[in-house]
Amino acid sequence: MTGPSHPVVHLSGVTKTYGDVHALKGADLVIRRGELLAIVGPSGSGKSTMLNIMGTLDRPTDGTVRIAGHRTDELSDRELSALRAGTIGFVFQQFHLAPGVASVDSVADGLLYSGRPRAWRRRKAETALRRVGLGHRLDHQPHQLSGGEKQRVAIARAVLGDPPLLLADEPTGALDSRSGAVVMELLHELHEAGTTVVVITHDRDIAGSLPREVRVRDGLIEYDSGRPAELADRVPQEITS
């Protein structure tokens, strides 16, 4: 439904409250297909809430969210799950790899509900692991992998179905600087291959190294280096209608 220049994420006046806490206050954000950007802010700034809303893991209290052209408030929970499965890949600070499970099977489990045979899922997983430079670690279990390798397994699982949008939440937060640099290089490579990559981070150095930086504080977007281009670019009719 979205073309090369159409928004893959469009937040309009998005607010999220938890009781008396206003986690987001009228956020407006457009992310176009093929972008690489950072959403940066300190703990409690609202960036994780924004991630959950962009990832359709949570619904806003007010405002409109469109993912790949679909208004999320018009979708049932089942339809949201289908949209999430086909459109969004997630990478988290914690790797979420099951102990005692080989890398290839950890990745293949990302297609567990696809209805495809195990052998097919493992072949797809092998391809994804080779894509992230882990063709030599297919049968290694988490305790046999470095932190950077674990994160690359998690990234392979996230991009297994070639989702157009990858949300990476503090992807280097649990890594040393060298491993973190390798992971960021991989995210750059995925972006160059056509994936829209959004990095949520508290690290200003990482944010400043990416083509676009969105700063969040106290639930507000206080700076967006991509905003002038957004405002000058007319949102397609199919997105606004």
Residue with tokens 């893991």: 57
Give the N- to C-terminal CA distance of the chain in Å, as an integer. Answer: 13
- pLDDT (tens digit per residue) in 6-38: 799 999 999 999 999 999 999 999 999 999 999
- Contact, 94 vs 161, CB < 8 A? no
Q: Say whether pLDDT at 228 is over 80.
A: no
Q: Tell me, what's the pLDDT at 1?
A: 47
Q: Say whether pLDDT at 215 is over 50.
A: yes
Give the CA count within 13 Å in the CB-facing half-sphere of 115: 0
Q: Say whether pLDDT at 68 is over 60.
A: yes
Q: Say whether pLDDT at 113 is over 80.
A: no
Q: Say whether pLDDT at 219 is over 70.
A: yes
**Cα distance between residue 171 and residue 5, in whole Å:** 26
**Cα distance between residue 122 and residue 105, in whole Å:** 7
- pLDDT (tens digit per residue) in 139-158: 999 999 999 999 999 999 99
**Cα distance between residue 106 and residue 103, in whole Å:** 5
Q: Say whether pLDDT at 5 is over 70.
A: no
**Cα distance between residue 25 and residue 199, in whole Å:** 21
**Cα distance between residue 47 and residue 184, in whole Å:** 19
Q: How many residues are there in the chain? A: 241
**Cα distance between residue 9 and residue 166, in whole Å:** 11
Paired strand residues for 88: 165
Rg, the chain, Cα only: 18
Tell me the CATH number of domain 7-240, given options 3.40.50.2300, 3.40.50.300, 3.40.50.20, 3.20.20.10.
3.40.50.300
- pLDDT (tens digit per residue) in 160-200: 888 999 999 999 998 999 999 999 999 999 999 999 999 99
Residue with tokens 């150095």: 205
**Cα distance between residue 52 and residue 214, in whole Å:** 16
Backbone angles phi, psi at 5, to 5 degrees: -105, 5
Pairing state between β 62-67 and 7-18: antiparallel
- Contact, 39 vs 171, CB < 8 A? no
- What mean pLDDT, rounded, does the chain reach? 90
